[in-house]
Chain A
Amino acid sequence: METQRSLVWRVWDWLDGRYQVASIVDGLLHVDIPRTARTYYFGGITLFFFIVQAITGILLALYYQPSADRAYDSILFIMNRVNFGWLIRSIHSWGANLMILFCVLHLLRIFFQGVYKAPREITWVMGALLLAVTLGFGFTGYLLPWDQRAYWATTVGTEIAGAVPIAGPPLIVLLRSGSEVTARTLSRFFGVHVLVLPASLLALLAIHLTLVHVQGLADPRRRVEPEGEVVAGSAPLARPEQPKRNLLPFFPNYVLDEVIAWYIMLAILIVLASLFPAGLEEPADPLLTPEHTKPEWYFLFLYQGLKVVPRIVGVLLPMVGAIVLLVLPFIDRNPHLAANKRPIAIGIGVVSLIGIIAFTIWGWLS
């Protein structure tokens, strides 16, 4: 019988005999999730895009030259000379936008389902920080092509940071490594983009996923438990016994759904990258301000807000909003999950969302 086992299984047995990998993988894969959980796979898709970004980012880093006099030409080289360079850069560019989009959708799903509440407070905080890091990726990566759009979007983007009361001026110097966007800003952004942010994201992601795994996926249809009692999810370690019919195996059922979603996303990425490859404008020219200078779409609402409301409001409101978002589970003491039982939170959420979308569209059109 032994001789009939394939090489893969023999390696598996060899490892298992020494490191008990079977139990580790068991612990990771063989958990049950509530059948009523509705994740829409947003979190998993965001993870997929992160993996895509990491792979394409590493490939780009093999050719990219992070200096003001070489950056633009190296991007041109990637686009025109490197085999499939255009595809890698276009996927990296589209992947960045889609990662932010799905990160936000994931956050909205958690918010409207109310599943950030106890016992998942830390998971939410980690998720909010992950969104901040993802936005940081977008912000720092946008400058790297060093074309006019990159240069001036970064100029107005860092200008937003400069509007923060008291800390604004030093913050702008910290971001730009000087009073203007220069070659030093490029070095700084590159370092942050490929070293600081990936390390931060990996650390936060590890905590986020571990917590999700330990607590299992939340069931948005669960009933409110008696006050004060922490209700855990479906993970074996933390959940009370549940009828098996309400549960679904994480592997292979849920994983299979995720893989299908990832495949669809891969197809979307390929279509977008092929039909709308990443562009490149004229090389950055600090002396030539383009007619319409705007930051990236995910900062447009901030930019438009600063233009139309008093500066102090335009700065403080998003800051307060970000802090509220970060510590939301500790502010929102309402134990209910159903939307109709938490009108204040849902109301504020809907109004904020409509406001952000409206300002984004306004900024886009202005």
Chain B
Amino acid sequence: MDHRILHRLGVALALLVVVLLVPTFMAAQDAFPTIPHPLEGRDNCLACHETGAGGATKIPDDHAGRTIEMCQACHQPAPATEEEMLAPTAETPSAAESPTPEVSPSPAGPLPVPHTLEGRENCLECHQSAEATPVPEGGPPVIPHPLIGRENCLACHAEGIGGAPQIPEDHAGRPNDICQACHQPGQLPAPPTPTAPAEPIPTPIAYPHAEGVNTCLDCHAALGGKHAEITAQWQRSIHAERDVVCADCHGGDPSATDVNQSMSPEAGYIGVPPKTEIPALCASCHADVSLMRQYDLPTDQYAKYQESTHGIRLAEGDLNVTTCFDCHGGHQILKANDPASTVYPSNVPALCAGCHSDKELMAPYNIPTNQFDLYKQSVHGHALLDNQDFRAPNCATCHGTHGAAPPGFEEVANVCGSCHSATQDYYIKSPHAQLGDSGPKCVDCHGRYDVTKPSEAMYLGAEPRHCGACHAPDSPPGQVAQTLYDSISAAAQDIDEAEAAIRQAQSVGMLVGPLEGQLREANTSLITARAAQHTLDVGTVTAKTDDASVVSEEVKADAEAAVAESVFRRQAMIVAVVVIALCIVALFLLKRELDRQSEAEAEQAPRVDSSEP
């Protein structure tokens, strides 16, 4: 036994004592700052405390490298009672051991939210009075949309995606969960209402009729130039065909041969009607039910026009807006189903663009002018303008014709559904639709004028119109998008593979008609799944995609079996042909022998007895 051993024993005992005493000491100390706010919704401590955002206490330098999971090892929530949490004046933590958060003296600086929001959702209740820090002039902007499914404010507002206002620079570093401390959901502005009351329908112009006589035409045609051009235009029009003459619009006496008489105010001549009076002039006939019935024409154009933005502005004296004359042509008015007509469906986009693409004309109204360019590139534009597919919408299909008005949100959902009715039925069952007016509508994902061909890629990625533009991939809606992508893509791939197998079977001459029929069923399931995904209900969609996958896998197996059968047939064919070839060779040998025999017989004897034994 020497000193060294004793010394080591002593050191070991001392260490043991220290190891046992430190935790006891630490537990007894409780010297770490407590967490002065509830942890619900604020589980990411570093989001605020790393940078000191929103006035949060910045973590000390010696804490560098510590992760979120470690914070609560030392820092525990302050033992605040329910009464304290709900008390309107309990905005500062009172416990002596909790440090008071720093409040920036500058109103433009980051604002702290030093208390729980539970029961204090309406910040302005306190912050507009002297009881708490006052809000800036006018109050914080309200949230103009519901929050269900849009919990992640920063997904859109951080970079201003989809037209969302970008958060101000002084808000930098503020996390998602404190936005609503100041910004509350608000109300949408009410849609504009027409200001002009409906005008009464005017009486048509009366003039003396003389059967077959129209001196207006005779003179103007003879005058040449612009006059003759007008008469020629009129003669090509549907009005000329229906005997609606110059005097019906311009007044005067078409039976008089003296110009001073025919074009006199006494004869009712009004000359070129002022633009503001054109709708009423046209309506004097076209709003007359008894007159229009014989032509099977509607009579509500005038009433609709007066309610339209065009009509309202015209009533206000704005002469830039369109009237009947501008769209239908003045003298050369053709039937709407005449391909030469300006209002023929495929001519409508260019007609509207005549004004709405004019930057100078649209500038005072603050209306964009790129709609026609966008439309031309859209699926609708390609279908209508390039392929003359009249099922595709033109401007008037969505905006209305005579009742032209800027579409509101509600309207958009309905106008798309007037063609895409099955999709609309599914959409109205979705959480998106349940958000009401401010939920995402068709145009938010598919575009308004530039509707592109949708694809499964829209489920992925965070670019505009993709699910990720609003929903983070790991959020519940993001997970739904991923599931929809997976199931629809898988079904589409199954169908593609079955289709390829069918084509292969067809290329070797196998009958694939029944398989094609089955695959059409699978495709129908996929198409309905693509429509049904607007419900955002994974169960509904996967039921359909599973159907599609099951059927297409059966089809693929049958098609591959047909290809295998074809291979077998060809192999059997080779065997059969070889057997036949052997027979032919044998017969050729026999033939050669016979030929020799018969030649020899022919040489020898002129006649033979042909009977055989």
Contact = CB atoms under 8 A, between A and B. Distances in A.
A358 B586 CA distance: 41
B570 A275 contact: yes
A253 B598 contact: yes
Nearest to B607: A244
A86 B605 CA distance: 53
A30 B609 CA distance: 10
B580 A30 contact: no
A270 B587 contact: no
B29 interface: no
A252 B577 contact: no
B209 interface: no
A18 interface: no
Contact of A279 (B509, B581, B611): B509
B513 A274 contact: no
A76 B583 contact: no
B594 A277 contact: no
A276 B509 CA distance: 6
B84 to A, nearest CB: 78
B573 interface: yes
Interface string A251-293: 0110011011001101100110011110111100000000000
B576 interface: yes
Contact of A256 (B594, B601, B610, B612): B594
A248 B598 CA distance: 7
A79 B511 contact: yes
Contacts of B608: 244
Interface in B563-601: 569-570, 572-573, 576-577, 580-581, 583-584, 587-588, 590-591, 594-595, 598, 601
A249 interface: yes
B419 interface: no
Given A80-B511, A274-B573, A267 B580 contact: yes
Contacts of B572: 274
B254 to A, nearest CB: 51
B584 A249 contact: no
A26 interface: yes
B587 A266 contact: no
B200 interface: no
Q: Chain B contact residues: over half helix, strand or loop, or mixed?
A: helix
Interface string B512-532: 011000000000000000000
A279 B584 contact: no
A95 B299 CA distance: 68
Contacts of A26: 610-611
A249 B599 CA distance: 11
B606 interface: yes
A87 to B, nearest CB: 8
A249 B598 contact: yes
A264 B584 contact: yes
B510 interface: yes
Interface residues on A, range: 20 to 34
A333 interface: no
B603 A76 contact: no
Interface string B363-392: 000000000000000000000000000000
Nearest to A281: B513
Contact of A260 (B511, B569, B584, B606): B584
B513 to A, nearest CB: 6
Interface in A1-55: 22, 26, 30
Contact of B513 (A76, A259, A276): A76
A267 B514 CA distance: 30
B581 A245 contact: no
Given A260-B588, A275-B509, A277-B510, A252 B611 contact: no
Given A244-B607, A256-B591, A267 B509 contact: no
A22 B611 CA distance: 9
Contacts of A228: none
Given A30-B611, A275-B573, A257 B591 contact: yes
Interface residues of B, number: 32
Contacts of A259: 587
A263 B509 contact: no
A259 B606 CA distance: 28
Interface in A115-172: none
B594 A267 contact: no
A243 interface: yes
Contact of A280 (B513, B569, B580, B583): B513
B602 interface: yes
Contacts of B601: 244
Nearest to A73: B514
A337 to B, nearest CB: 24
A264 B587 CA distance: 11
A243 B607 CA distance: 9
A277 B509 CA distance: 6
Interface in B437-473: none
Contact of B583 (A244, A245, A263, A275): A263
Nearest to A260: B587
Contacts of B606: 243-244
Contacts of A282: 513
A26 B609 CA distance: 11
Contacts of B513: 76, 280-282
A270 B577 contact: yes
A247 B510 CA distance: 50
A22 B613 CA distance: 10
A293 B587 CA distance: 45
B16 to A, nearest CB: 87
A256 B587 contact: yes
Given A274-B572, A274-B573, A244 B605 contact: yes
B587 A253 contact: no
Nearest to B565: A86
Nearest to A31: B610
A282 B514 CA distance: 9
Interface string B291-327: 0000000000000000000000000000000000000
Contact of A76 (B511, B590, B594, B595): B511
A276 B580 CA distance: 19
A5 B18 CA distance: 125
A260 B602 contact: no
A245 B602 contact: yes
Contacts of A266: 580
Contacts of A280: 511, 513
B509 A245 contact: no
Contacts of A76: 511, 513-514
Contacts of B510: 277
Contacts of B569: 86-87, 274, 277
B580 to A, nearest CB: 4
B573 A270 contact: yes
A263 B584 contact: yes
A253 B606 CA distance: 18
Nearest to B605: A244
B577 A271 contact: yes
Contacts of B607: 244
B489 to A, nearest CB: 30
A86 B588 CA distance: 32
A243 B510 CA distance: 57
A68 B510 CA distance: 23
A68 B159 CA distance: 66
Nearest to B517: A282
Contact of A253 (B514, B570, B595): B595
Contacts of A276: 509
B28 to A, nearest CB: 87
21 contacts: A22-B611, A26-B611, A30-B611, A30-B612, A76-B513, A76-B514, A79-B511, A80-B514, A86-B569, A87-B569, A244-B602, A245-B603, A253-B598, A256-B594, A264-B580, A264-B584, A267-B581, A270-B573, A270-B577, A277-B569, A281-B513
Given A245-B602, A267-B584, 5 more contacts: A244-B605, A245-B603, A263-B584, A264-B584, A275-B573
Q: Which 8 A-B pairs have the closest CB atoms?
A: A274-B573, A30-B610, A245-B602, A267-B580, A277-B509, A244-B606, A260-B587, A263-B584
